[in-house]
Amino acid sequence: MRRDRSGRRVAANSGVVVVTCIAHASCPKYWQRIEAERMPTAKKVKKLTRAEAEAIFARFHEIEPEPKGELDYINAFTLLVAVVLSAQATDTGVNKATKRLFELAPSPAAMVALGVEQITELIKTIGLYRGKAKNVYALSQMLLDRHGGEVPADRAALEALPGVGRKTANVVLNIYFRQPTIAVDTHLFRVGNRTGLAPGKTPLEVEQALTRQVPERFMLHAHHWLILHGRYICKARKPECWRCPIAQWCRFEPKTPLPVGK
């Protein structure tokens, strides 16, 4: 038995694939594997002190006091849909697909009226679009049936919706309802472990560690600062340490040097 590049077990010379949880995003091993593959080193780092964590967020605040998410939305419902569609897709790609979708269906009732087939057609440029279209339709119907067409400001109620997990719920609660939640995606998972800010084996462990580490006055924007830092500076394959504003506190070694010619 061997494993293919996706982490699935493959019976030697048989072509038979036995899918295991290692390739699924809900499995802790999935997160460990993708970061071990994408990070220059998978070396475990020492956790930062509270004082160091506060210095990092004070620096983020100094650079950008009011960070914003990059998904386009009109209201709580369209934000929820955009976040559901953003799984394993770029914000830019989602924004291109949702421009027309949100013009036609800015509410749960309008989305249900579109139907699964039309939703599918409108978002077909996004990865996993067929399953996402079904979830968008189903969550829209559930919002009508259970919440009067309104997006609930409650994590448990949000997680009960089709296609909505803890990360998606936290994003909506943070961005739209201004609750101090932290949504851990691959960027936050990487930054938390790589820097020593919030080491953890699973997204929930990293979220809980960040909740303890982030000073209360910075909690509302912590998610945005970290995701933007991971997306544009602390990149997966080659972090741009030479221009990192928090390099002096980061535990990651060896720091990536300035590329020749820059």
Burial class (CB in 10 A: 0-12, 13-18, 19+), 185: buried
The verdict on whether residue 21 carries a ligand-binding annotation is no
The verdict on whether residue 244 carries a ligand-binding annotation is yes
Pairwise CA distance, residues 11 & 136, whole Å: 36
The verdict on whether residue 241 carries a ligand-binding annotation is yes
Residue in 29, 72, 185, 235 annotated catalytic: 185
Q: How many CB atoms lie within 10 A of CB 208?
A: 15
Pairwise CA distance, residues 86 & 93, whole Å: 8
Active site annotation includes 124: no
**Token pair of 115 as six digits:** 């139907």
Residue in 44, 72, 167, 235 annotated catalytic: 167
The verdict on whether residue 250 carries a ligand-binding annotation is yes
Pairwise CA distance, residues 164 & 126, whole Å: 17
Q: Are 188 and 182 in contact (CB under 8 A)?
A: yes
Active site annotation includes 47: no
Pairwise CA distance, residues 205 & 198, whole Å: 8
The residues assigned a catalytic role are 167, 185
Task: Could you list the residues known to form a binding site for [4Fe-4S] cluster, using ranges.
Answer: 234, 241, 244, 250
Task: Could you list the residues known to form a binding site, using ranges.
Answer: 234, 241, 244, 250
